[in-house]
Chains A and B, each alone.
Chain A
């Protein structure tokens, strides 16, 4: 195991910013800690680097307990959001810093610096000063600086947060390629769900200091275990229901229960249907997809490649709002106008246990929470 956290906690005063986080990260894995700002994800990362001391728990890097060690003795590579390149040093001197501290031979250092400059695709930039580089270039140098001394693990704290959208997308790809090439275990902290999906081998969802769940991106998106995960990762249509026998009942509409949900039998649940899994039609559809009822089109929005349609359900689910994303074909076929009555069906869905948490309202209220660029 490359990184192992065992019940790590951190309190600021009486406030727990990280609560009993246990986590194991495989060698060579790129793990993304995803959470809103203030969720404790950065604090957790800084505890791994030794920049923050945990109040409880243990941290192991490659089997070595580093909980009490200062950052200098942990051998992690850390990339900061604001690059934090040393302003008075050239690009090459920045990259070389970790090697000169380790008293490597001048010749080896030079060679290593050139290797890294090639790796980050800035081979000719060694003699530049950091301020002569763009933000994206600076962050690549910061990455090279953190990789120069072959760190145990690579820790990235919102590394692309200060960059504009296009550069960000490009750097994500670069990072993923470099990380795989070197096989270095990495943790990346971000609040950007799209970024997480794109680079992560696995994602850990962190909320109010707690690691809610861990999984591969598609699993977390399609079959989350927590309502927070469902709403944080993209847009979620949540419909209150009850699982009985082999069906899930939305009022008196029965839809087949998804596999592996027997443990929710007899319980009040929520059906999670992603907007792209919602189908709308003027006539009652004759498909195998379960139809959940009728509604009135409230809004038709242009969303680039797709069409976003907001429908307010009528009848049994009076007031419930559902968001649908229609492909260009479907949008043309349906040709929806505001005020029209449509049938709503769900093509794929998952079940969530109804949470009785005080700050979550177990109502039929629409929980469309968009994050990142989708908003």
Chain B
């Protein structure tokens, strides 16, 4: 017992010592970006695909000379979709000199927004986070850089209107959502549009994590019988919803999923492409693997003698990872160009973000235009539909009721 205790103590001390030594950081020209991810928490389905994309794009950029001569270093940390690890990691990334942060998770974005604004480090939250973050005047250092839930809601009503023949008057729309703040977020948009367009709207609030939806599916299919179902759920819930609706015989061609209910992974989890035929999915990045950046990343792997990893085929989440990091690198490139080649500060990268336009990465990125007042870039989405064994592009990049959404953003807190 004595020797075992001694061994345990010495091993523990050695590990602690290793941790204190840390990694040797090279002092050559480097720019540090912080990345938070969820690898082991409730959204690990997304994190395990999205976060490798960030690293692959970073390797590609570094191989081609970096940004303005600087090599990009990304420190990824796992926040398990909880807030205290997110705060602790943010402090650590700040201590390591990060000039921008890729945030992960709506509660984490809410908790870190005051710190980002106070410490002058820009953070991006594409496709999640509070919609009011699009207001650049109130949140100078928080960048949604992709359609927020308000824009997604407005675009969904626009799409449903087009699908139902141009008018929503006295049509019935069912809205399946999580019973938490992220789920409640699009409701003001739906209320205003209801007054404008005159449709009937029923809310199905699912308590998270949403792994049991039999009752809601039955009510939708048998009692309410809507003309369209809009789903604002994520994690494991979309696959559960698809299975449940298909099980009660409700046609999935009358279903539209918001951006986080719309991946190949969700369709596979629901039972495969055969189950989800006709399902409409909303995307804020391109879908599919025939973009130039994919070919470049594959070439990079082949040049190292390695097979391109299979995660690249989960193109919905993979492309969203590429979009996020590509915008960071574009902002840093603009910042370095603007300050004459010196290492950029967080405030300069923020200015870089605010001047991003005409950056499409071969069509993967929508026609964003970030400005000091619009940190969302315009709220562009596109709809893909499940046909056969793939997702087929159904609409070009579009947005719905932009004037109304912009007014809401401008008056939000």
Asked if A and B bind, the verdict is no
Question: Which A positions have Cβ atoms within 8 angstroms of B?
Answer: none
